[in-house]
Amino acid sequence: MPTVEVGDLADGDFLLDVREDDEWQAGHAEGALHIPIGEFVARYGELTEAAPQDGRVNVICRSGGRSAQVAMYLNQQGVDAVNVAGGMQVWAAKGRPVVNTEGQPGFVL
């Protein structure tokens, strides 16, 4: 499974968050695209519209399990996708910004 470390992600890298709505609302990476894993196949078109054509899709969840499943699926579809190691827990621990749905400081649920 292709993986990327949080520290290797640059500001502006495309990020797909596959956590559930309550997790997203509590706190997420600003600018990430949110498609919960349970809705992912049905909403796949949203990803293809938003993702950079020649760029990588960095998939994140809370700890890395759900995002690994989605990254694997995307790779099978021919998309350059990687799992973000440690997920939002590591994202927050590394001091990367986490915001809630109002754009205020958030937390990882």
pLDDT (tens digit per residue) in 47-101: 999 999 889 999 999 999 999 999 999 999 999 999 999 999 999 999 999 999 9
Report which secondary-structure segment, H or E, holds 61.
none
Residue carrying structure tokens 């899709």: 57
Contacts 24+ apart (CB under 8 A), 30-39: 30/97, 30/99, 30/103, 32/60, 37/61, 37/66, 37/69, 37/70
Residue 36 has which token pair?
């919960």
| Residue 108: band (very low, low, confident or very high) from pLDDT cuts 50, 70, 90 | very high
pLDDT at 54: 87
**Is 89 an annotated catalytic residue?**
no
pLDDT at 21: 98
- Of the residues 6, 59, 61, 85, only one is catalytic, namely 61
Is pLDDT above 90 for 1? no
| Residue 20: band (very low, low, confident or very high) from pLDDT cuts 50, 70, 90 | very high
Is pLDDT above 90 for 41? yes
